[in-house]
Amino acid sequence: MPPIDDFISLLTAALAEGRYVKLSLKGYSGKDADLKSIDIARILIKREEKLSLTYHYKTKDIVKNHVPDEAIDMIARYLEKDFSSAILHTTDYDLTFPAMKKVQPRFKQAPPLSHDRQKHRHVDPTRPYLQALKITDSHGTVYKNAQDKYKQIDKYIEIVGGLIQGLAAGKIRHIADMGSGKGYLTFALYDYLHHVIDRPAHITGVEYRQDMVDLCNDIARKEQFKNLSFVQSSIEKFDTKSIDMLVALHACDTATDEAIYKGISANATLIIVAPCCHKQIRAEIETTRQHNDLDFLTQYGIFLERHAEMLTDGLRALILNYMGYSTKVFEFISDSHTPKNVMIVAIKEEKKKIKDPAILKSIHNAKSYFGIRYHYLEKLLDIKTA
Ligand SMILES: C[S@@+](CC[C@H](N)C(=O)[O-])C[C@H]1O[C@@H](n2cnc3c(N)ncnc32)[C@H](O)[C@@H]1O
């Protein structure tokens, strides 16, 4: 039997009999100048077995998952044309290709299928920028006091990475991250887009604290993140004309509205905000309180706070709908990690009616029902509901 067929049938048997540990393809000589090697792991995604191919490039890794049959065909083609050698690790032996030499196995046990064993991480904790941001130590271990932050970064990347991958390639070219602070989420998004999913985009972090801007620019320079920069500016003054995605995470009170307004004005495809405090609407509720049937809720501080949060963000979503965006509002990370955990995602729908009078009526009715004279975002957009 020719070595490729022989190798593939031993690979197939190891997979079928649960002896498969991993496979590495090496000695690449194809057309893609920066590709070095591929590692292949067996994983479960939504209870379905897949082979996960990690393509190692000079400066990034790209992961692609395939059903086993499809992946095995690809591996056979790779060995025919592009890769000159391979090593298959099984629990019985390690097998080298093309020599077809069996040696003692390096691994005694097949690893548990990774997605079932532990939650899949989207942010590799060994990435150097995480050390520079003091999230991890030099071994890639997350510091105890940074665990919540790391979980938040990982969840953020899972959500936002998925949203960007759902859009046509090239749709998102410039992202503004408003109120970028220490830049944890900004760096993670940049790294993921450039080095994991190959959807490169320019990202600008906008922050009015000069010390944070300097710190982040310094790290971006050291990491050679060439299309990542931070500017000292208020959200209000930043020129967003060229952006097609806007992010504002934990920008206080009406700063979130300023950011949404900027995104809408730039006709951004994607607007993602995780609001922080909700003082403007809370003050409205307190000022216009009618002493009516809702008093039993708003007399308690905590309920008043939650009521203000729901109203503020519910109206934000409604206003975004009015401006031609479809919206999702959800808890993006458990409130045991952070209380600031609601995310609003707005996607510009080309076919959606803009300024639909029915939505305008809903905004008007909601405000009068809850005794709210105005929402700050409505003012910015000069929306007149009555
Ligand atoms: C709570 S931090 C969040 C940082 C980051 N987005 C995150 O979620 O990790 C909010 C940041 O927004 C900045 N900020 C708030 N309002 C702003 C405004 N109007 N213009 C620019 N920066 C603002 C603050 O200086 C602060 O660094």
Residue ID of nearest Cα to ligand 1 atom 17: 179
Report residue 77 as tokens.
Answer: 């083609």
Q: CB of 185 closer than 6 A to ligand 1?
A: yes
Whether 208 is in the pocket of ligand 1, judged by its Cβ within 6 Å, is yes
Say if residue 200's pLDDT is above 60.
Answer: yes
Cβ pair 344, 275 in contact under 8 A: yes
Q: CA-CA distance, 204 to 228, in Å (whole number)?
A: 6
Query: How far, in Å, from the CA of 235 to the mean position of ligand 1?
Result: 9
In this prediction, residues 138-162 reach a mean pLDDT of 92
Verify whether ligand 1 is closer than 6 Å to residue 249 (CB atom).
yes
| Ligand 1 centre distance from Cα of residue 383 (Å) | 26
Nearest CA to 39 out of 25, 20, 21 is that of 25
Could you write out the three-class secondary structure of 54-74?
EEEECCCEEEEEECHHHHHHH
Q: Is the CB of 207 under 6 A from ligand 1?
A: yes
Specify whether the CB–CB gap between 126 and 136 falls below 8 A: yes
Give residue 181 CA to ligand 1 midpoint distance, Å. 5
Is the pTM above the cut of 0.85?
A: no
Letter for the amino acid at 162? Answer: G
Residue 235 CB less than 6 A away from ligand 1: yes
* Of 215 and 48, the one with more pLDDT: 215
Q: What is the mean pLDDT of the chain?
A: 90
Determine the pLDDT at residue 86. 96
Residue 252 CB–ligand 1 contact under 6 Å:
yes
Q: What is the mean pLDDT of residues 182-202?
A: 93
Distances in Å between the Cα of 361 and the Cα atoms of 212, 290, 325 are 43, 22, 17
The secondary element (H helix, E strand) that includes residue 206 is: strand 202-207
Is the pLDDT reported for residue 116 higher than 50?
A: no
**Closest CA relative to residue 279, chosen from 314, 263, 255, 260:** 255
In the reported structure, the alpha carbon of residue 173 is separated from the centroid of ligand 1 by a whole-number distance in angstroms of: 23
* Residue 367: per-residue pLDDT: 92
Distance in Å, CA 86 to ligand 1 centroid = 49
| Percent of the residues in the chain that have a pLDDT greater than 90, as a whole number | 66
What is the position in ligand 1's atom list of the atom closest to the CA of 248?
Answer: 6
Q: How far is the CA of 222 from the centre of ligand 1 (A)?
A: 23
* pLDDT of the residue at 5: 94
Tokens of 57: 């490039």
Q: Is 297 in the pocket of ligand 1 (CB under 6 A)?
A: no
Per-residue model confidence (pLDDT) at position 3:
84
Q: What is the mean pLDDT of residues 126-134?
A: 93
Nearest CA to ligand 1 atom 24: 179
Distance 179 CA to ligand 1 centre (A): 3
Instruction: Report H helices in the chain.
Output: 3-16, 68-81, 114-117, 128-132, 147-165, 184-195, 210-222, 253-265, 279-288, 295-298, 301-322, 357-370, 376-380
Buried b (16+ CB within 10 A) or exposed e, 270-309: bbbbbbbbbebbbebbeeeeeeeebeeebeeeeebeebbb
Backbone φ/ψ region at 270: left (φ over 0), alpha (ψ -120 to 50), beta: beta
Q: Take atom 23 of ligand 1 and give the residue whose Cα is closest.
A: 179
Q: Which atom of ligand 1 is nearest to the CA of 233?
A: 21
User: Of the given ranges (60-64, 66-70, 305-309), which has the lowest mean pLDDT?
Assistant: 60-64
In the chain, the percentage of residues whose pLDDT exceeds 70 is 95
Q: Which residue has the higher pLDDT, 263 or 277?
A: 263
Q: Tell me the DSSP string of 15-45.
A: HHTT-EEEEEEEEE-SS-TTEEEEEEEEEEE
- Residue 236 predicted with pLDDT over 90: yes
What's the rounded Cα separation, in Å, for the pair 109 and 321?
53
Whether 117 shows a pLDDT value over 80: the answer reads no
Quick check: 112 pLDDT over 90?
A: no
